[in-house]
Amino acid sequence: MSEGDQDKGIFIGQIAGKLEGLTSEIAGLKIAVSGFKDDLKELPCIETSGKINTLKGVLDGHILLAQHEEEVQDKEDNKIHKKRMLRINILLVFVAILALSNVAEKLLKWIK
């Protein structure tokens, strides 16, 4: 074997060794990443995030309930307002009738 062939063999061996090392590192990274994912599931920040989302959901529910109650209250207030306006209109009609009867009475007196 010539010296050039030995150099080529050494070079190819170095490349193969580096590739094998790189493959091992990649496999190690995959294991580390999967372990990290498992660790993430157990971290309290994830649990806290879930609790925050749950709390946000509860608050959103309370807000929707409050909006619904406000709409119901507005409808009831509207009904009460309509009843008051009806009563006022009835009173105005009676006042108008009394005024007309008073005017009619005075008119009859004036005609006689």
pLDDT per position as a tens digit, 42-94: 555 555 666 667 777 777 877 888 888 888 888 888 888 888 898 888 888 88
Q: What is the pTM of this model?
A: 0.38
> Considering the domain boundaries, does residue 15 fall inside one?
yes
> Considering the domain boundaries, does residue 70 fall inside one?
no
> Considering the domain boundaries, does residue 38 fall inside one?
yes
Query: Cα–Cα distance between 33 and 37 in angstroms, integer?
Result: 6
> Considering the domain boundaries, does residue 13 fall inside one?
yes
> Considering the domain boundaries, does residue 52 fall inside one?
no
**pLDDT on residue 35:** 64
> Considering the domain boundaries, does residue 79 fall inside one?
no
Cβ atoms of 46 and 40 within 8 Å: the answer is yes
Query: Quick count: other Cβ atoms within 10 Å of Cβ 88?
Result: 10
The total of structural domains in the chain comes to 1
> Considering the domain boundaries, does residue 98 fall inside one?
no
Residue 80 has which token pair? 């009460």
Query: Cα–Cα distance between 29 and 50 in angstroms, integer?
Result: 28
> Considering the domain boundaries, does residue 103 fall inside one?
no
**Residues spanned by the domain of 21:** 1-43
